[in-house]
Amino acid sequence: MTQNYSRRSVLQLAGAGSVASLAGCAGSGSNGNSSSAVRISGGVGPLPMVEVWADMYEDQTGVTFDISGGGTGVGVSDLFNGQVDVAMMGRDPDEEELEEGLIAVPMLIDTVVGTVNVDNPVYDELRENGLTREDLEAIFTREITNWGDVADADVDEEITVYGRSDSSAAYQQWGDFLGGDGDKHTESELENLADANHNGDQSVAEAIGRNENAVSLNNINYVYDLGSGELESDVRPIPLDIDGDGLSEDEDFYETRDEFLEAVEAGIYPAPPAREMFLAADDGFEDEAYDFVEWVLTDGQEYVSENGYVPLEEDRLEEALEKLAEGP
């Protein structure tokens, strides 16, 4: 089930039409006179999209990129240490970061979802009925420890909970969601309750794929196949029973990534765990980094949906462009 998320493999997902269009732009618009590298690190949630954008922008302008993941916390730390020009963030910046001079502009909307193995002992029941937020909270906080207690099924299998060991904005958002209004679970609390913690989304997906009794969470681009948008690996999303009245037809949108994204865009799937993601700089974006982020917020938005994310609404993009221009 292992998936490869290298820059060039992800670029293929942009679609033949988009690549052909950009190839035309590159031929006429490339200035070919820059060898500067924009250094970017941070959240693994937005990483595939930022890499797609970087490849396209590089083809058009000649500006090169040095991009790595590591999680939102790593990106912010790298930014303040002067190791990168831009940090990818899967959460809002906090007050302390803003006071230190961080400026962040939203770039897209992503979401995370609870995940299990396709051979989970109660998968059929989960797929038919879904789980409520309260059910998921009880599983991740170990109030429920057996799959037989989760679903109405004659099953006696212990639940294995996997968490994140890195500084994960996705895990933080998941803790906010599990706790309900104003009563979040911190990443540290969830880490301590988990059977094991993994570094990065791909590691979590691989662990779920190896253990039919495991449960965790993933950004949806690590659940649905990047190319087809179908469920092709051993990882499956846990449908969310939003109103606690069973999984209705309106709540059943997990068969494909496109269906899921439409539910996120329509506000049917809740936020959190849906969330805005950001590009951030220390004391303002400069030079090639500024130009790249401006392109992301304009021409780059065209490629968001086809790569498994939800684009920002027009008024939010205008706010982001104004903030980019104004600086800290």
> Which class would CATH give 111-266?
alpha beta
Cα–Cα distance between 311 and 114 in angstroms, integer?
A: 22
**How high is the pLDDT of residue 35?**
52
| Residue range 287-324, pLDDT digits in tens | 999 999 999 999 999 999 888 889 999 999 999 999 99
Pairing of strands 196-198, 102-110: unpaired
| Residue range 224-240, pLDDT digits in tens | 998 899 999 999 999 99
| Residue range 2-25, pLDDT digits in tens | 333 333 333 333 333 333 333 333
| Residue range 141-176, pLDDT digits in tens | 999 999 999 987 899 999 999 999 887 888 988 999
pLDDT of residue 100 exceeding 60 = yes
What does the CA dihedral 181, 182, 185, 187 come to, rounded to 10 degrees?
110
| Residue range 177-215, pLDDT digits in tens | 999 876 789 989 999 999 999 998 899 999 999 999 999
**How high is the pLDDT of residue 153?**
81
CB atoms closer than 10 angstroms to residue 148: 16
Domains 38-109+276-325 and 111-266 share a fold: yes
Q: Provide the residue ranges of all domains of the chain, joining segments of one domain with +.
A: 38-109+276-325, 111-266
pTM of the model: 0.77
Q: How sure is the predictor about 27, in pLDDT bands with cuts at 50, 70 and 90? A: very low
Q: Which fold has domain 38-109+276-325?
A: D-Maltodextrin-Binding Protein; domain 2 (3.40.190)
Percent of the chain scoring above 70 in pLDDT? 89
